[in-house]
Amino acid sequence: MHYFSDSVERAIEELVKLPGIGRKSAQRLVFYLLRTPKEKVYHLSQALRELKDKVIYCSICFNITETDPCAICANKNRDHDLICVVEEANDILALEKTGSYRGVYHVLGGALSPLDGIGPDELRIKELLKRLMATTKEIIIATNPNAEGEATALYLSKLIHPLNIKITRIARGLPVGTELEFADEITLSQALEGRVTVDSF
């Protein structure tokens, strides 16, 4: 039984389809939009339309972009012989914010997860292998530090190893500002494994 108008109910049903949005959250969003001036709602609608009409995947790295190739792949000042492999395009944003990486990227489109039906063929692994040339100096594997990310990193390492290309994995460990007593065992273990030599104090 519907307690709202058909239009309101349709909007709620569409929002519920979004990840992390339950019916109550969808209702709150719909009623917020109803109170919002029409022009602002139209701007949101237009932004969503443009998102689907204009945004594409870069044909080289599969980053999201409106131009092909993307700005990073087209930048001649980047080190194109250094490729950082990430799971999703939003991982690129996180790495770019550091301002410390000057290579290029490759977006896999996820991580290996057999239980979810995601195998090597569902990821952009073949495309990565095609990109590797004699000039490729290093592959940095920056998949997430969870079971799927670790499995993906191991799989990629085994594939790339015979090509005699340097393979590295981003270090994992304690975030800045964290106290040891509050860190979990896995994080502490990874911090110990990723320890570096200290030249002097």
pLDDT at res. 6: 92
Q: Is the pLDDT of residue 3 over 70?
A: no
Q: Could you give the percent of the chain with pLDDT greater than 90?
A: 73
DSSP class per residue in 82-144:
EEEEESSHHHHHHHHHHS---EEEEE-SS--BGGGTB-GGGTTHHHHHHH--TT--EEEE---
pLDDT at 184 over 80: no
The whole domain housing 133 covers: 64-169
In a domain, 42, yes or no: yes
**Residues paired with 168 in a beta bridge:** 140
In a domain, 182, yes or no: no
88 and 48 belong to one structural domain: no
Q: Is residue 79 situated within a structural domain?
A: yes
Last residue of a domain, one of 35, 54, 73: 54
Instruction: Assess if residue 184 is contained within a domain.
Output: no
CA dihedral 115, 21, 23, 2 (to 10 degrees): -100
Tell me what the mean pLDDT of segment 140-147 comes to.
89
Residue 179 located in a structural domain: no
* CATH number of the structural domain spanning residue 101: 3.40.1360.10
Q: pLDDT value at position 200?
A: 43
One domain, residues 73 and 49: no
Listed in sequence order, the residues at least 6 apart from 13 whose beta carbon sits closer than 8 Å to its beta carbon are 26
State mean pLDDT over 45-66: 96
Q: How many domains does the chain have?
A: 2
Give the mean pLDDT of the chain: 90
Using alpha carbons, select from 146, 161, 63, 61 the residue that is nearest to residue 112: 146
pTM of the model: 0.82
